[in-house]
């Protein structure tokens, strides 16, 4: 910071790669730090012999006989945040705590979840240059054109079948172990699936075989293509996120913006953003799995198919999704309040140190 001539009020750190920074801040400076954990599974854990290269003593390892960067940061940052309130609660449990749940519990009020936001300048069907037609909640007709264009691009029949999509990593953490069997059960019906992503070789093989067997119902692209992702969101009726765990998730927020109704597992940020649709009360914004299983995902998709069969109801749900907003402004204000609290406390601490001299 001296060489860069930066005078900081707060230093905001992200994940294990920066979690040792509190070690190198002089205590007399009282400079507060905030550590944001995006995924607790990635901890920067090494053999204890390497600790000396970071200037750490054995007593500071904090995690048994291993050198754990994230454990150190969680214990020594002025405050710790994560990317959604629900994930913050999950992180303090043995199931999701990845061995660090007790460290997080000790932080009390200095550990909290602040929901990520979405950049609507990048993900907006009214102004998206990558999609076939623009549309909005007040004028949603263009979404039908986007669906037909997507079906044509993906070599699917241009029918009124419900089009379900997945964009992401083809891995167990993203729910592939329940998505594949659910897809196999439903694929021969009046439904179409589009998947975009790369991941585990096993799922590449299984999904490729399925796409060859059902070319009129399933289109697969083993690739990362940002423009195609935009067109998939715009052309989809439903968007799948059956993740085993999801710290926040942006896919469901993007799906909302494009009127693709999310089908999600009840975990992490998905719980903070998606609520169960009730056709009777006309409330809710998506479909939640009753538990993490292929049968629960199949049941949620069948419920969605029954709603889709009533076009007026499904269009109303799609439009309600488009009206959801997860602005960074709201999240930024929460971070600012946290910064202000820590700065106030650091001023008090600095005065106390001055008084002791």
Concatenate the DSSP letters of all residues of 45-76 into one string: EEEGGGGGGGT--GGG-EETTEEEHHHHHHHH
Residue 34 Cα to chain centre, angstroms:
20
Q: Spell out the residues 6+ positions from residue 341 whose beta carbon is closer than 8 angstroms to its own.
A: none
Residue 89 and residue 272 in contact, taking contact as beta carbons nearer than 8 Å = no
Q: Spell out the residues 6+ positions from residue 16 whose beta carbon is closer than 8 angstroms to its own.
A: 42, 43, 44, 69, 70, 73
Q: Which domain holds residue 93?
A: 11-117+328-356
268 within a domain of the structure (yes/no):
yes
State the pLDDT confidence band at 3, using cuts at 50, 70 and 90: confident
136 within a domain of the structure (yes/no):
no
pLDDT at 61: 72
What is the C-alpha R_g of the chain? 23
What is the arithmetic mean of pLDDT over 9-16? Answer: 97
Q: Is 206 found in the same domain as 146?
A: yes
Burial, 302: exposed, middle or buried (Cβ in 10 Å; 0-12, 13-18, 19+)? middle
Q: Is 265 found in the same domain as 146?
A: yes
3-state secondary structure of 161: coil
Number of folded domains in the chain?
2
4 within a domain of the structure (yes/no):
no
43 within a domain of the structure (yes/no):
yes
pLDDT at 117: 98
Distance separating alpha carbons of residues 330 and 10, to the nearest angstrom: 20
Least confident among 18-32, 114-128, 137-151, 220-234:
18-32
Check whether 56 has a pLDDT greater than 70.
Answer: yes
3-state secondary structure of 307: helix
Please report where in the chains the tokens 């494009």 appear, as a residue. Answer: 258
Least confident among 52-61, 134-143, 161-170:
52-61
3-state secondary structure of 261: strand
State in Å, rounded, how far the first CA of the chain is from the last one.
Answer: 26
Q: Is 150 found in the same domain as 108?
A: no
Tokens of 85: 């309130």
Q: Is 96 found in the same domain as 227?
A: no
pLDDT at 357: 60
Tokens of 356: 């002791």
Mean pLDDT in the chain?
95
Q: Is 333 found in the same domain as 318?
A: no
Nearest CA among 171, 162, 174 for reference residue 217 = 162
Cα separations in angstroms, 132 against 9, 22, 231, 259: 46, 49, 8, 15
| CATH code (residue 32) | 3.40.50.2000
Q: Is 204 found in the same domain as 232?
A: yes
Q: Is 241 found in the same domain as 150?
A: yes
45 within a domain of the structure (yes/no):
yes
40 within a domain of the structure (yes/no):
yes
122 within a domain of the structure (yes/no):
no
Distance separating alpha carbons of residues 205 and 198, to the nearest angstrom: 11
Q: Is 151 found in the same domain as 102?
A: no
249 within a domain of the structure (yes/no):
yes
Check whether 240 has a pLDDT greater than 90.
Answer: yes
What is the arithmetic mean of pLDDT over 211-216? Answer: 96
Q: Is 307 found in the same domain as 211?
A: yes
Strands 287-288 and 261-264: parallel
User: Residue 132: how many CB atoms within 10 A of its CB?
Assistant: 20
Residue 195 φ then ψ, to 5°: -130, 135
Q: Is 281 found in the same domain as 185?
A: yes
Check whether 55 has a pLDDT greater than 90.
Answer: no
State the pLDDT confidence band at 349, using cuts at 50, 70 and 90: confident
3-state secondary structure of 111: strand
Q: Is 314 found in the same domain as 334?
A: no
3-state secondary structure of 127: coil
Q: Is 237 found in the same domain as 334?
A: no
Check whether 1 has a pLDDT greater than 80.
Answer: no
Strand partners, 66: 47, 63
């Amino acid at each position: 910071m001296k060489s860069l001539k930066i005078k900081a009020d707060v230093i905001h750190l992200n994940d294990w790669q920066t979690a040792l920074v509190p070690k190198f801040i002089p205590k007399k400076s009282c400079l507060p730090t905030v550590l944001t954990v995006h995924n607790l599974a990635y901890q920067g854990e090494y053999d204890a012999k390497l600790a000396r290269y970071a200037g750490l003593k054995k007593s500071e390892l904090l995690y048994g006989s291993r050198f754990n960067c994230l454990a150190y940061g969680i214990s020594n940052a002025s405050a710790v945040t994560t990317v959604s309130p629900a994930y913050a609660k999950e992180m303090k449990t043995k199931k999701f705590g990845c061995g660090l749940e007790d460290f997080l519990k000790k932080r009390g009020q200095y550990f909290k979840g602040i929901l990520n936001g979405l950049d609507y300048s990048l993900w907006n069907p009214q102004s998206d240059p990558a999609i076939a037609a623009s549309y909005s909640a007040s004028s949603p007709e263009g979404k039908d054109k986007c669906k037909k264009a997507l079906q044509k691009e993906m070599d699917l029949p241009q029918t009124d079948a419900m089009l379900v999509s997945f964009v992401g990593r083809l891995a167990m953490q993203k729910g592939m172990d329940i998505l594949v069997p659910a897809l196999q059960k439903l694929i021969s019906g009046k439904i179409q699936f589009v998947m975009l992503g790369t991941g585990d070789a096993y799922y590449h093989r299984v999904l490729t075989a399925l796409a060859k067997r059902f070319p009129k119902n399933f289109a697969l692209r083993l690739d990362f293509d940002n423009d195609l992702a935009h067109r998939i969101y715009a052309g989809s009726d439903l968007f799948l996120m059956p993740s085993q765990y999801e710290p926040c998730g942006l896919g469901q927020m993007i799906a909302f913006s494009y009127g693709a109704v999310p089908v999600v597992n009840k975990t992490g940020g998905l719980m903070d953003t998606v609520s169960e649709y009730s056709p009777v009360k006309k409330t809710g914004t998506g479909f939640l799995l009753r538990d993490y299983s292929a049968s629960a995902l199949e049941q949620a998709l069948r419920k969605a198919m029954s709603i889709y069969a009533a076009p007026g109801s499904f269009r109303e749900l799609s439009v309600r999704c488009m009206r959801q907003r997860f602005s960074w402004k709201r999240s930024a204000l929460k971070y600012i309040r946290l910064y202000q609290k820590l700065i106030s406390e650091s001023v008090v601490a600095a005065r106390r140190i001055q008084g002791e001299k």
